[in-house]
Structure 1
Amino acid sequence: MPQRWLDRLHRVEDALLAILLGALLLLSVAQIGLRLVFDSGLDWAEPVSRAGVLWLALLGALGATRTGKHIAIDALPRALPAGAHRPLWAIAQVAAAIVALWLAWLGVGLVALEREAPVPFVAGIPSWVPMLALPVGFGLMGLRFLVAACLPPPVVVAMGEGTP
């Protein structure tokens, strides 16, 4: 049963990424079309696009964390015997979780500072709302790294083995 819920969560994450990417593409094409045809544009398109790219980047990083496709240094596990992979994997995942959760904490502080003196973002939305991407994205990544620390490490091909 938990695997079914996890699969649903992954589908929702993938759908959110696809919808956000599609919306950003549509907004950009509309903005280009309006500028070419009517010599005008949408005043709110640029800040919304910037915030959308921030959310897209962090949600994409969250997806990469889920699939193990994030940037990682894997030279040490390749050089060590197979028995050392599990503890190294757990240590690396916990270290990544600490960094991600620290960045989430800094994001909370940034949002709090912005809430003290908010400026309008677009159409009555305060400027701190799009900044929620930082604590949400990094917080979820940190949780994902902690979960990964409890799971078995991926299979690592030792140096000198396999295809070049």
Structure 2
Amino acid sequence: MKFAFNGLLAVLAVFDRAIGVLERLVIGATVLAMAFLMSAHVVGQLVFDQGIPGSYEVTEMLIVVMTFVGVSYAARHARHIRMSALYEQLSGAPRKGLLMLICAGTAALMFYFAWKSGQYVLEIQGRGRVSSSLGLPMWIVYLALPAGFGLAGVQYLLTLARNALTPGIWRSFNERETYSDVPVHGTEAGGSHDDRA
């Protein structure tokens, strides 16, 4: 039984690494493309008195892609916004149970958003909507929404699986919650405690 769990974790780890490579490639490529495009646009305006047509439009599209793929990246590294007032009051099995419940609920929400945004992409495609300057079909840009939400849902499922199959509390598939992450009574994690009255 333990061998099966270890095998499943190994398969999930490979899957997680593949998604991580995809996320880094997309985010890195969009940042580099934006930097290159805007730099070339500024140089073109300063040197040739004419920038690159459509550069602002392309930059806005790249921001959409980076934002929604970034949702998955944030979930992978447990850098997402967390409402943790109740969670931080718990420890041990109740804390882990609540984290697993949160992961399951958030995964379901992410998959719902992916489904709804996929419907939106199909609607945009059906209308034939294109960008104003370049005439690029907007549905291609908006594919980042269902892709990003879907990848984020997968990240939460991976975190759920890690917590279900492994001892300890895991904030993401690769990041274990450490003692320093748990606030000490009356202080923030990593903060100093002032004994003065």
TM-score (norm 2): 0.73
Deviations 1:66-88 (A, max 9, x none): 11111112222220232201210
Which 4+ runs in 1 deviate beyond 4 A? Answer: none
Aligned length: 164
Higher Cα radius of gyration? 2
> 76, 84, 87: which is aligned to 2:94?
84
Q: What is the CA–CA distance in structure 2 between the aligned matches of 1:99 and 1:127, rounded to whole Å?
A: 25
Cross-structure match for 2:182: 157
Deviations 1:114-149 (A, max 9, x none): 112113336563121101111111111112112212
The 5 Å alignment of 1:6-155 reads: 6-121=16-131, 125-152=136-163, 153-154=169-170, 155=177
Which consecutive residues of structure 1, in runs of 5 or more, have no partner in the other structure? Answer: none
Give the secondary-structure state (helix, strand or coil) at the position aligned to 1:74.
Answer: coil
How far is 1:44 from its partner?
2.3
Q: What is the CA–CA distance in structure 1 between the aligned matches of 2:190 and 2:47, rounded to whole Å?
A: 54
Give the secondary-structure state (helix, strand or coil) at the position aligned to 1:68.
Answer: coil
How far is 1:21 from its partner?
0.7
Tell me the percent identity.
23
Deviations 1:66-113 (A, max 9, x none): 111111122222202322012101110111112211211221121111
Which consecutive residues of structure 2, in runs of 5 or more, have no partner in the other structure? Answer: 1-9, 164-168, 171-176, 192-197
Aligned-pair Cα RMSD in Å = 2.2
